[in-house]
Amino acid sequence: MDLTEYKISSREVYSGSFLQVKEDTVGLPNGNQAQRIVVQHPGASAVLAITSEKKVVLVKQWRYPVGEALLEIPAGKLDVKEDPAHAALRELAEETPYTATEVKLIHTFYTVPGFGDEKMYLYLAENVQANSTLAADDDEIVQPVLMDKEEARAALINNSIRDGKTLIALQYWLMHC
């Protein structure tokens, strides 16, 4: 069965510094039409960084849309034409006291495919060192948090980690590293 939907028309609802919101009329495979709200995003990179002491580097930060502080792996949006691997290294160094010499792509995935096109690049950092001289953006207040595997397992079990990219990254770490 062909599940393809096609755009009939599009109307811009909002255009911001890095997000655009459109309302599209689409044709469905059954011949009907429907409305789709689409949030366009430039993409993002996230990094799973493990220290030489075998601890995962997380950040705790307030997430206004959900009204709480979340524990997350370092991540951020891609700048225009930025290489996702470079963005992962940059985000690690900006949000934490850590750097890495390189990163290896673990997986790519869509964060909110029901209404947005954001593609996330998830990397594993290599040669993690506590030597960053960069600082977080002025509007980003983050607190680094280190966890060993047992602490991470406990945090997963007690629902202390609720961010999707972090759930994926920690599952990878616990299963493969």
Query: Is 161 contained in some domain?
Result: yes
Q: Looking at the structure, do residues 158 and 172 belong to the same domain, yes or no? A: yes
Q: Looking at the structure, do residues 13 and 73 belong to the same domain, yes or no? A: no
CATH code of 132's domain: 3.90.79.10
Taking the chain (177 residues) in consecutive chunks of 10 residues, what is each chunk's mean pLDDT? 96 96 98 98 98 97 97 97 97 96 97 97 97 85 96 97 98 94
Q: Closest Cα to residue 74, out of 55, 97, 91, 98?
A: 91
Name the domain count of the chain: 2
Domain of 12 in residue numbering reads as 6-40
Q: Looking at the structure, do residues 62 and 109 belong to the same domain, yes or no? A: yes
- Alpha carbon 9 to its chain centroid, in Å, reads 30
Q: Looking at the structure, do residues 79 and 160 belong to the same domain, yes or no? A: yes
Which strand ranges, in their side-by-side order, compose the sheet holding 20-27?
A: 6-15, 20-27, 33-40
Residue 60: per-residue pLDDT: 97
The one-letter amino acid at 78: L
Residue 131: per-residue pLDDT: 95
Residue 177: per-residue pLDDT: 83
Query: Is 1 contained in some domain?
Result: no
Residue 157: per-residue pLDDT: 96
Q: Looking at the structure, do residues 99 and 151 belong to the same domain, yes or no? A: yes
Residue 135: per-residue pLDDT: 82
Sign of the four-CA dihedral 136, 139, 144, 145: negative
Cα–Cα distance for residue pair 43/99, rounded to 1 Å: 22
Q: Closest Cα to residue 26, out of 52, 3, 47, 44?
A: 3
Residue 69: per-residue pLDDT: 97
Q: Looking at the structure, do residues 48 and 107 belong to the same domain, yes or no? A: yes
Considering the entire predicted model, what is its pTM?
0.94
